[in-house]
Amino acid sequence: MKKNLGSFESLFLFILFVSTTHIVSNVPKEVTSTWKKLNSSPEATPCNWFGITCDDSNNVSSLNFTRSNVSGQLGPEIGDLRSLQILDLSTNSFSGTIPSTLGNCTKLVYLDLSENEFTGEIPATLGNLKSVTDLYLYENYLTGELPESLFLIPVLQTLHVDYNNLTGSIPESIGEAKELLELSLFENEFSGNIPESIGNCSKLEILYLHKNKLVGSLPETLNMLENLTDLFVGNNSLTGPVRFGSANCKNLQTFELSYNEFEGGVPPELGNCSSLDALVIVSGNLSGTIPSSLGMLKKLTVINLSENRLSGSLPQEIGNCTSLKMLKLNNNQLGGEIPSSLGKLKKLDSLELFENRFSGEIPIEVWKIPSLAQLLVYQNNLTGELPLEMTELKHLKKVTLFNNGFYGEIPSALGVHSSLEEIDFISNKLTGEIPPNLCHGKKLTVLNLGSNQLHGKIPTSIGHCKSIERFILRENNLTGPLPEFSQDHSISFLDFNTNSFEGPIPRSFGSSRNLSSINLSRNKLSGQIPPELGSLVRLGYLNLSNNLLEGSLPSHLSNCVNLERFDVGFNKLNGTIPSSIGSLQQLIYGLDLSGNGLTGELPDKLKDLIRLTRVNVSNNKLTGSLSVLGNLTSLLHADVSNNQFVGAIPEKLKNQSISDPASFSGNPSLCIPRSFPISNNSELILSSLFVLVLVLAIVFICLRRRGGGHEERPKKDAIVFTEEEGPSLLLSKVLAATDNLNEKHIIGRGAHGIVYRASLGSGEVYAVKRLIFASHIRANQSMMREIETIGKVRHRNLIKLEGFWLRKEDGLMLYRYMPRGSLYDVLHGVSPKEDALEWSARYNVALGVAHGLAYLHYDCHPPIVHRDIKPENILMDSDLEPHIGDFGLARLLDGSTVSTATVTGTTGYIAPENAFKTVRGRESDVYSYGVVLLELVTRKRAVDKSFPDSTDIVSWVRSMLSKSNVDDMVSTIVDPILVDELLNSDIREQIVEVTELALSCTERDPARRPTMREVVKVLCDAQGLVRCSSGSVR
């Protein structure tokens, strides 16, 4: 026993450390209950204690406390257990650093410290564990670099360090790990290139490198790994072509490269990877065509190449991938017809081809795939009739065909043999009646059949379908009564507008407590508005206009406290406006009671609607004073015409954007001021009609192009006020504050107009942009383009339009004044040192502008290209938060590009491909943004006097780069104000990364530039642990 006393004593020290000190703060009783003092018996030994195993010599060979709820720190005494072969402390709450003395346990074969709270660096001394085959450190808070010594352990087979905060490069010594089978480094912050030496890990089977910051190309040496089964390198910043797929890849099963910035296309050589099960490269910047060689992969179950730039047709050979279960190619530029050979994919579960350019009919063979559960082909150019064969698909759950050209009747048996969950056929040319069995399986949640040519009644079975959440039938020719809804119905969004439904609104609607939006306008509904609708406390939008409803307004509607818009215009309602309407204090976007037979006075409680911006009570029989409307401080537009109001118009009401004298006409006893003359000038009337038609046409086109009806709530768009509506109070204040737009108040000049500063007192300061019309028609179109664009977007980094006025000779746009001016003022103003931006502020500007552009490019429908990004159009608030402004050049994209009659933009910021052409896409904005990044780094103008002749900032930086690498170059080109900050290595690295990003954005080839989403990802990653969000409001 004496010869083992040293080991026992060391173990005792370890146990004592665990049980009696505060270093390990918690050891459950089930662990300590078996621990006995070593001196309690001459034969006492810890070999029978919980979690402890000894060898034949009574030396401790194993400590296994996995999932034992132990917390605290691991002491350095652990290194005294020299005979230890297995140490498993996984899934506990150990904290603190991993003791370097652990490297003394040289007999360790298995080391698992995973799923704890260890911090600090991985000790390089672990490289002394020459017998370790399995090393697990994943799911901790480890930092620092990965020690090279780990890859010098000769027998190491498994290394998992995923889910930590490790940084630095992957060591070149990785090539020395000749026995390595599994390497998992994902969810860290590794940077640099993937070492070429990894090709020497000849036994490697699993390689997980995804979700890091790796750059460079995918090493071709990966082709040497003939045992590789799983390769994950997604969510990095890899570039260059994907050169993979040698004869050695026959064991590869999973190939995942998503969210990188590759060049070129899908490598045809992947056809050699005969065991491949999943090919996943989402948003990898891939271009070119899909290689036909993929058809050689008989074991392939998943192809996901979505969100790339792939073009051409879908190869017939894909039909040879007979094991395929998912084919996901959405959001590309693929065209031509869908090949009939897909019908050979008898195991296919999901076919997702949406947002491409496919044309023709869906082959009948596809409709016969027995396993098909999802068919998502919306937003293509597909046509044809829906065949009877689709009704035989027993597994079919989700069919989305919207925004295509399908015609004919929907097969009446659809749903009989399957449990449909989502049907979206909006914006096609479908005729006939609604099939009665769509909800046969009682799982249907979405039924969208709007904007077609359907007729007939809503089948009773559909009305009784309790699972439907979104129900859109708008813009058809449907008739008959509305369906009854039960109390436990799931319906939340209902849009039946523009049909010929008749009869009363069912009282049972009030039992559907999840309803948030109801639009029954433009039908033939009659009877009274059921008071039960007052039970819909989640209702935000209620539109019952243009029907035949009668009776009084139910006071119970005041219980709909979340209502934001209420429209019952043009019905046959009578009685008084209930005073309880004042309870609807969330009303913002409109209260429309026009075109009825309402009587009595405006209730005093109406003044409580302090957020209301639009009210229309015209064409009724209302009497009394308008004084209550004078209390509505948020009001932007009101129409009280054709009633029997008397007395004076309230002062606030006269000019507070209530500028059309027609809004007061038809009230014989109303005192209309002389300042509101009603002109009989025919030219003015024609002008008004022209503007009105133009506005309606543009709005109609925009709505149609958005694609049918996926908006839950009404848009918070800005509102047009024409000159014919008279000067508003706010406009009068603006004109007074600027001395009728005197040039002394000018603070800037944009591409389409002049900007004035208007201080209205009480801290209210605005910027007013005056758009001067070159010619009446062209100017209105230009202005409306800008207005319609700005009015639709809501984002923290986009300038918010407060309102605008359309006048005869010009248009006025109102914004909140930005006290710090533009980014140009801050960087290049008269006294730029006074506004000197430290690097963190510049970085935030870069990130904010990137978020704003990404929102315009990808979150607006249709997407928006700004077309004139430059510092002058980036406005700075008091917190130096950037706001993109001046959408005077913005055009709504009709496809991937747009065209105008003239070249637009600003010299120095125009992408090379646009210098003499009119075609503009998102890539042109990316180029301009890259120029702005270079200005943030250098504080030099895009075209600076210090540059050689005919040189802009992009050429100058690239010239400097040619003389040295980016890291060395930064100190040469960086703004001298930032020189002291370069001493901080983290800041220096960040500046280097931003410079590299700027050079990537300003590549001459548009295809090589990143998308703005990718730019945001790069900046967020470079920002470290700071949380990034888009900031959009939707």
The per-residue pLDDT for 29 is: 67
How many H helices and E strands in the chain? 14, 62
pLDDT of 526 above 80: yes
pLDDT of 719 above 70: no
CB of 397 closer than 8 Å to CB of 373: yes
CA 696 to each of CA 63, 212, 280, 566, 689: distance values in angstroms, whole numbers, following the listed order: 77, 50, 45, 21, 10
Mean pLDDT over residues 948-956, rounded? Answer: 82
| Residue range 309-327, pLDDT digits in tens | 999 999 999 999 999 999 9
| Residue range 741-769, pLDDT digits in tens | 888 888 877 656 788 888 876 667 888 88
Orientation of helix 953-961 relative to helix 985-1001, angle to 10°: 120
How big is the chain by its Cα radius of gyration, in Å?
35
CB of 505 closer than 8 Å to CB of 526: no
The per-residue pLDDT for 1034 is: 28
| Residue range 84-95, pLDDT digits in tens | 999 999 999 999
Average pLDDT, the chain: 83
Indicate the helix (H) or strand (E) that contains 794.
none
Q: What region, left, alpha or beta, does residue 606 occupy, with left being phi > 0 and alpha being psi -120 to 50 degrees? A: alpha
The per-residue pLDDT for 977 is: 83
pLDDT of 162 above 70: yes
Least confident of 73-82, 231-240, 386-395: 73-82
The per-residue pLDDT for 30 is: 65
| Residue range 901-910, pLDDT digits in tens | 344 567 888 8
The per-residue pLDDT for 787 is: 63
The per-residue pLDDT for 264 is: 94
Mean pLDDT over residues 57-83, rounded? Answer: 90
| Residue range 14-68, pLDDT digits in tens | 554 444 344 555 666 666 666 665 555 545 577 878 889 898 888 889 999 999 8
Q: Residues annotated in the binding site, as ranges? A: 769
Q: The dihedral of CA 700, 702, 706, 711: what is its sign?
A: negative
* Position with higher pLDDT, 330 vs 894: 330
Q: In terms of DSSP bridges, do strands 278-280 and 647-648 run parallel, antiparallel, or are they unpaired? A: unpaired
Residues 285, 1015: Cα–Cα separation, whole Å: 13
Domains and CATH numbers, the chain: 289-378 (3.80.10.10), 526-671 (3.80.10.10), 682-816 (3.30.200.20), 823-1022 (1.10.510.10)
DSSP 596-662: SEEEEEPPGGGGG-TT--EEE--SSEEEE--GGGGG-TT--EEE--SSEE-EEPPHHHHHSS---GG
The per-residue pLDDT for 11 is: 53
pLDDT of 680 above 80: no
User: How many residues would you count in the chain?
Assistant: 1034
Least confident of 221-235, 389-403, 776-790: 776-790
The per-residue pLDDT for 37 is: 54
pLDDT of 1028 above 50: no
CA 63 to each of CA 47, 50, 55, 360: distance values in angstroms, whole numbers, following the listed order: 10, 9, 12, 67
| Residue range 541-556, pLDDT digits in tens | 999 999 999 999 999 9
The per-residue pLDDT for 970 is: 66
Of 867, 887, 885, 865, nearest to 877 (Cα)?
A: 885
Q: Which residues on neighbouring strands pair with residue 648, listed in sequence order?
A: 671
Mean pLDDT over residues 253-259, rounded? Answer: 95
pLDDT band (50, 70, 90) for residue 141 = very high
The per-residue pLDDT for 539 is: 93
pLDDT of 1026 above 90: no
Least confident of 69-73, 801-805, 865-869: 801-805
**Structure token digits, residue 810:** 């010009």
Least confident of 482-486, 529-533, 572-576: 482-486
Q: Residues annotated in the binding site for ATP, as ranges? A: 769
Residues 922, 918: Cα–Cα separation, whole Å: 13
The per-residue pLDDT for 110 is: 97
Residues 675, 865: Cα–Cα separation, whole Å: 42
pLDDT of 818 above 90: no
Residue 784 exposed, middle or buried by CB count within 10 Å (0-12, 13-18, 19+): buried
- The catalytic residues are 868
The per-residue pLDDT for 613 is: 81
Residues above pLDDT 70, as percent of the chain: 81
Residue 536 exposed, middle or buried by CB count within 10 Å (0-12, 13-18, 19+): buried
**Structure token digits, residue 12:** 């005792």
Least confident of 133-137, 160-164, 480-484, 689-693: 689-693
Of 897, 896, 905, 967, nearest to 931 (Cα)?
A: 905
- Would the pTM count as exceeding 0.85? no
Of 567, 512, 561, nearest to 540 (Cα)?
A: 561
pLDDT of 366 above 80: yes
The per-residue pLDDT for 265 is: 95
Of 676, 554, 677, 577, nearest to 623 (Cα)?
A: 577
Of 812, 689, 806, nearest to 741 (Cα)?
A: 812
The per-residue pLDDT for 786 is: 54
| Residue range 584-609, pLDDT digits in tens | 998 987 899 999 999 999 999 999 99
**Structure token digits, residue 102:** 């652990």
**Structure token digits, residue 1029:** 């969000």
The per-residue pLDDT for 722 is: 43
pLDDT band (50, 70, 90) for residue 832 = very low
The per-residue pLDDT for 224 is: 95
